[in-house]
A and B are shown apart, each in its own frame.
Chain A
Amino acid sequence: GNSVTQMEGPVTLSEEAFLTINCTYTATGYPSLFWYVQYPGEGLQLLLKATKADDKGSNKGFEATYRKETTSFHLEKGSVQVSDSAVYFCAFRDNYGQNFVFGPGTRLSVLP
Chain B
Amino acid sequence: DAGVIQSPRHEVTEMGQEVTLRCKPISGHDYLFWYRQTMMRGLELLIYFNNNVPIDDSGMPEDRFSAKMPNASFSTLKIQPSEPRDSAVYFCASSLIPGPQHFGDGTRLSIL
Residues on A lying within 8 angstroms of B by beta carbon are 32, 34, 36, 42-46, 49, 51, 89, 93, 97-98, 100, 102, 104-105
Interface residues on B, range: 10 to 19
> In the assembly, what is the distance between CA of A25 and CA of B27, in Å?
31
> In the assembly, what is the distance between CA of A42 and CA of B6, in Å?
12
In the complex, how many angstroms separate the beta carbon of A100 from the nearest chain B beta carbon? Answer: 6
Main secondary structure of the interface of B (DSSP, over half): strand
Scoring B43, B55, B95, B104 by chain A CB atoms within 10 A of each residue's CB, the highest score goes to B43
Q: Can you report 6 residue pairs joining A to B where beta carbons are below 8 Å apart?
A: A43-B91, A43-B106, A97-B97, A98-B97, A105-B42, A105-B43
Asked if B34 lies at the interface with its beta carbon under 8 angstroms from chain A, I say no
> In the assembly, what is the distance between CA of A98 and CA of B98, in Å?
9
- Nearest-CB residue, chain B, relative to A102: B43
- Asked if A104 and B106 sit within 8 Å, CB to CB, the answer is no
Checking B45, B55, B103 against A43 with a beta-carbon cut-off of 8 angstroms, the contacting residue is B103
- Asked if B91 and A46 sit within 8 Å, CB to CB, the answer is no
In the complex, how many angstroms separate the beta carbon of B22 from the nearest chain A beta carbon? Answer: 15
Q: Mark B70-87, 1 if CB is under 8 A from A, else 0.
A: 000000000000000000
